Amino acid sequence: MDITFEHVSYIYQENSPFAHKALDDLSFHIPSGSFVAVIGHTGSGKSTLIQHLNGLVRPTHGKVSIGDFQLAKGMKPKNIKELRSKVGIVFQYPEHQLFEETVAKDIAFGPANFGVSEREIQRRIKEIIPMVGLSEELLTRSPFDLSGGQMRRVAIAGVLAVKPEILVLDEPTAGLDPRGQKDIMDMFYTLHQKQHLTTVMVTHSMEDAAKYADHILIMNKGKKYMEGAPKDILIQEEALNAVHLDVPEIIAFMHHFEKKFGVELPFENQTPKQLAKQIQQLIGGRLRNE
């Protein structure tokens, strides 16, 4: 499903001394099937943005379209539940939303609310549990007996069990150890490709943005600051530093390398391995020339 924002503004507590503009005339378009990273400093409006994606909040001004669904001020769409079944949001620290007696019941909670049959739910649980890296023995345990990382996976499984077409991730790896971060991100990426999802990920990690996203949206003070392909956006060191963001380590390295050796190394979403090979060839070529 395509996602389109047209001049969207959102004001918290309008008409009060606490009025606060979280989004300011924001327009962008995300085609179906993209993996978008939304990046921005704390308070740049990222979290407010994603709450527009399944109608948790409606824009104060402007219009949001998700597929055939439209959200605007004062509109009360009856099919909001249908929208929510198509847009799955994994909130920050999603383990805080667990409440059922057993892991299986908690995963079943979402799909049951959206009217999925019991048999289908059981089938989905069997399918999802290995996908998120849990074992089936955990299904009968209480979610509160699990470790933090396991709880996070259960919560993610609960969102995936609804089978959304758009997957929204709000800093999905915050607070996990490096290994867990990599596992979870790889899992989301595989899922994104296999199930042809549209993925919107809020993140602070420029590394993750460089590695997974095919489109990047940089937010600053509720406004769109930059938008484009990672290879065009992530190399703009000065522009990024101006909004308290760093370039990914690999690009920082490439910039240093260029300065030191006077060789241009264009960024094309290389992995460190590919970059090493490139440099090897470069040096090898030089040695041969000399």
Partner 1 sequence: MNNMMIIGQYVPGNSIIHRLDPRTKITVIFFFVVFVFFANSFWSYALLTVFAAVSVIASRVPVRYIAKGLTPIWFLIVFTFLLHLIVTKEGQVAFEIFSWKIYTGGIAQGIAISMRFFLLIVVTSLLTLTTTPIEITDAIEEMLAPLKKVKFPVHELALMMSISLRFIPTLMQETDKISKAQASRGVDFRTGPLKERIKAVVPLLVPLFVSAFKRAEELAMAMEARGYQGGEGRSKLRELRIGKIDVLIYILFICVVAGLFLLRS
Binding residues for partner 1 (CB under 8 A): 13, 15-17, 51, 54, 56, 81, 84-85, 87-89, 91, 94, 96-99, 109-110, 113-114, 144, 158-159, 162
Q: Is the Cβ–Cβ distance between 126 and 73 less than 8 Å?
A: no
What's the min distance (Å) between Cβ of 11 and partner 1? 11
Q: Which one, 98 or 210, has the nearer CB to partner 1?
A: 98
What's the min distance (Å) between Cβ of 201 and partner 1? 16
DSSP 4-24: EEEEEEEEETTTSTT-EEEEE
What's the min distance (Å) between Cβ of 97 and partner 1? 4
Q: Which one, 53 or 254, has the nearer CB to partner 1?
A: 53
Q: Which one, 116 or 206, has the nearer CB to partner 1?
A: 116
Tokens of 85: 């079944």
Number of neighbours of residue 44 by Cβ within 10 angstroms: 24
What's the min distance (Å) between Cβ of 151 and partner 1? 11
Helix (H) / strand (E) containing 40: strand 35-40
> Crossing angle, helix 103-113 and helix 118-131, to 10 degrees?
120
What's the min distance (Å) between Cβ of 109 and partner 1? 6
Q: Is the Cβ–Cβ distance between 217 and 37 less than 8 Å?
A: yes
What's the min distance (Å) between Cβ of 218 and partner 1? 24
Q: Which one, 158 or 230, has the nearer CB to partner 1?
A: 158
Q: Is the Cβ–Cβ distance between 114 and 162 less than 8 Å?
A: yes
Q: Which one, 69 or 91, has the nearer CB to partner 1?
A: 91
Characterize the bridge pairing of strands 223-228 and 69-72.
Answer: unpaired
Tokens of 120: 């289908």
Q: Which one, 151 or 209, has the nearer CB to partner 1?
A: 151
Q: Whole-angstrom Cα distance, residue 59 to residue 227?
A: 21
Calculate the alpha carbon distances from 284 to 128, 188, 240, 259 in Å.
47, 38, 34, 19
Q: Which one, 47 or 65, has the nearer CB to partner 1?
A: 47
Helix and strand totals (H; E) in the chain: 11, 10
What's the min distance (Å) between Cβ of 108 and partner 1? 11
CA dihedral 121, 125, 126, 132 (to 10 degrees): 160
